[in-house]
Amino acid sequence: MASLAWLLIPLFAAIGAAMWGSWAARDRTQGDISELAGYARFREVMDKADRSGQSAEHSGAHSGSDHL
């Protein structure tokens, strides 16, 4: 009976390894899609802010800190 208990240890280890392997290899692209969409929106806003900042510089509108 003791030898049967020693044989169950590797069996449980193999089952645990198979479960961990399937969990580690799962498809996680769904979360990435929403994160990439958020990053694209962030870049669009930053590009708009950059363009409006450049147009303000070229039109002669300056903040008070530029004249030091």
Domain edges within the chain: 28-55
Q: Is residue 66 over pLDDT 80? A: no
Question: Is the pLDDT confidence value at 7 over 90?
Answer: yes
pLDDT of residue 23: 93
As a whole number of Å, the CA-based R_g of the chain is: 29
User: Which stretches does DSSP call E strand in 11-67?
Assistant: none
Asked if residue 62 has pLDDT above 70, the reply is no
Tokens at 31, concatenated: 């979360």
Distance between CA atoms of residues 40 and 34, nearest Å = 10
pLDDT of residue 19: 97
Given pLDDT bands bounded at 50, 70 and 90, which one contains residue 63?
Answer: low
More confident residue, 17 or 55: 17
